[in-house]
Structure 1
Amino acid sequence: EAVTYINAHGTATKANDRIETEAIKLVFGSHARRLAISSTKALHGHTMGAAGAIEFVAALLALHHGIIPPTAHYTEPDPECDLDYVPNCAREQKLEVVLSNSFAFGGINAVLVARRVS
């Protein structure tokens, strides 16, 4: 329950986004509804092999500045993706622990986590 923000893999495809939403719900249980989640791909594009690094840097910047990047161009919510996807506008929020998901073809996946330190 320490995680406060997830930078989702979020490719804006029905199958991938639904599976990622279900995975977040499975891992975090009822805490999933309290998470701020966004995908930064609409801001920088899908950079393939560099996507994981770029998205983790975005999560680290969110942690440092307390500003969650938006899920840009989020105009048609999928009812099966019913979590807080920080639509269209950045949000100020104190963050303690952030997580960044990166998934690839062939099952090569990574999840990176960072915590604020004093």
Structure 2
Amino acid sequence: TSTPAGDKAETQAVKSVFGDAASRVMVSSTKSMTGHLLGAAGAVESIFSILALRDQAIPPTINLDNPDEGCDLDFVPHEARQVSDLEYALCNSFGFGGTNGSLIFKKI
């Protein structure tokens, strides 16, 4: 969400869902590059996720110099990261007024 409270809540949600494996989850915020695209945000995030699977590259979270306390996951700071074993991408979208959605994409 790119807000201190939202970032902490999202970090805690990832830790809650993935448990001890959360430290191995790569988390990327492409909103750091595009800004908030309002109604198009979820669609654009989905495109980024599909391209990440196709290209085996995790998009970076740019301008991440001082993460909030408690935001201690691998946020792929500053530069895209090439990988060779990316099979799934989870795309979370949190909208104004509590309109939220999540999609999981699988490489085929």
Q: TM-score interval w.r.t. the shorter chain? A: over 0.9
In structure 1, runs of 5+ residues without a counterpart are 1-10
Computed over aligned residues only, the root mean square deviation of the Cα atoms, in angstroms, reads: 0.9
User: Of 87, 108, 115, which aligns to 2:99?
Assistant: 108
Per the alignment, residue 36 of structure 1 pairs with 26
- Tell me the distance in 2 between the aligned counterparts of 1:77 and 1:20: 13
**CA displacement at 1:103 relative to structure 2:** 0.7
Instruction: Give the TM-score of the pair, scaled to structure 2.
Output: 0.94
User: Of 48, 52, 66, which aligns to 2:42?
Assistant: 52
**CA displacement at 1:105 relative to structure 2:** 2.2
Per the alignment, residue 57 of structure 2 pairs with 67
Identity percentage over the alignment? 50
**CA displacement at 1:27 relative to structure 2:** 0.9
User: Of 79, 82, 92, which aligns to 1:92?
Assistant: 82
Going by fraction, where is strand more abundant, 1 or 2? 1
- Tell me the distance in 2 between the aligned counterparts of 1:88 and 1:109: 26
- Tell me the distance in 1 between the aligned counterparts of 2:67 and 2:100: 25
Instruction: Give the TM-score of the pair, scaled to structure 1.
Output: 0.87
**SS of the counterpart of 1:80?**
coil
Give the structure, 1 or 2, with the largest relative contact order (CA under 8 Å, sep 6 or more): 1
- Tell me the distance in 1 between the aligned counterparts of 2:2 and 2:41: 14
- Tell me the distance in 1 between the aligned counterparts of 2:67 and 2:95: 24
Q: Does 1:13 align with 2:3?
A: yes
**CA displacement at 1:107 relative to structure 2:** 1.9
- Tell me the distance in 2 between the aligned counterparts of 1:111 and 1:31: 19
**Segments of 4+ moved more than 2 angstroms:** none
